[in-house]
Structure 1
Amino acid sequence: MTQMTPVRRARAHARRGTAIVEFAVCLPLLALLVFGTIEAASRIFLKQTLSISAYEAARQAIRVGSTTESSKASGDAILAARKVKGSKVTFAPTDITNASRGELIKVSVSAPTKDNSQVLGKFIADKTITATVVMVKE
């Protein structure tokens, strides 16, 4: 078995110190990258959920005999299934029951990012994401 000389021991100790310093510098950057990726994916998921909800509400709204309440319930069901908090579904015109055939029905669904954030909601500025769908009444 070979013994480490004092010079080799000093080099090994210096390399260990270098590794600790590199780790201390890289760890915050790595954590920021991981949490930022999670937050970006969360916002993409929220935007996609709002788009699907607006589409489903609009699809229900353009049907013959549909009401504003049933259309809103259709959009809210998607939002509830995906646990979106603080969402708001709006229609233009506000009462689609009396909309005539060929009239444009506009559905907007919005939600705040702070309430729906997975990780960094307390540290990132709150914004409202909105998805809008326009369809023609049947």
Structure 2
Amino acid sequence: MISTRIRNRRKRHPRRGVVAVEFAFAATVLFLVIAISIEFSRMNMLRHSVDNAAYEAARAGIILRANVDDVKQTANEIMNSVRARGTVVEVTPDTIQDDTPEIVVTVSVPADQNGFVTPRFFAGRSFVGQCRLTRDDI
């Protein structure tokens, strides 16, 4: 009976801390993947927001008695809703009159100033959205 007890006991190996070391390696990779995913999601959101802001601003510019300030305000409101920094809005023509045939709105945002985690992946790049709408009431 004594011999069966000894045989059933587990042999202890000096492997203390192995799980902690494995977790440290795995957690580092996991957190890096999560950070990169957040960064790419933010840039994707900015890319689509720039296009949407240009379109909505151009729509605001094709109505009667619209002016350039209304167009820029519309684009900036949309870009502020996603907390974009460094937004530049350009409107062509410089003055909108009731007989202006078309409006061109260009919205650009630098990626360097808008990263959540690190701007390394998109350094030196910017997102540009442009929309050209014609007025059919002329």
Alignment identity in percent?
A: 25
Alpha-carbon contact 2:55-2:131 (below 8 Å) kept? yes
Counterpart of 2:75 in structure 1 is 75
Unmatched 5+ residue regions in structure 2? none
Cα deviations by residue, 1:44-72 (Å, 9 ceiling, x for unpaired): 11112212211111001111221111111
Counterpart of 1:9 in structure 2 is 12
Does residue 1:36 correspond to 2:36, yes or no?
A: yes
Deviation at 1:20, TM superposition (A): 3.6
How far apart, in 2, do the equivalents of 1:92 and 1:65 lie?
16
> Any runs of at least 4 consecutive aligned residues in structure 1 with deviations exceeding 6 A, and if so which?
none
**How many residues of Structure 1 are paired with residues of Structure 2 in the alignment?**
130
Counterpart of 2:127 in structure 1 is 129
- TM-score, L = length of structure 2: 0.78
Report the secondary structure of 2:114's partner residue.
Answer: coil
How far apart, in 1, do the equivalents of 2:106 and 2:33 lie?
32
- TM-score, L = length of structure 1: 0.78
The 10-residue stretch of structure 1 (90-99 or 25-34) with the greater mean CA deviation from structure 2? 90-99
How far apart, in 2, do the equivalents of 1:76 and 1:98 lie?
23
Counterpart of 2:118 in structure 1 is 120
Cα deviations by residue, 1:65-92 (Å, 9 ceiling, x for unpaired): 2111111111112222332111001122
Report the secondary structure of 1:80's partner residue.
Answer: helix
How far apart, in 2, do the equivalents of 1:64 and 1:93 lie?
15
Alpha-carbon contact 1:61-1:137 (below 8 Å) kept? no
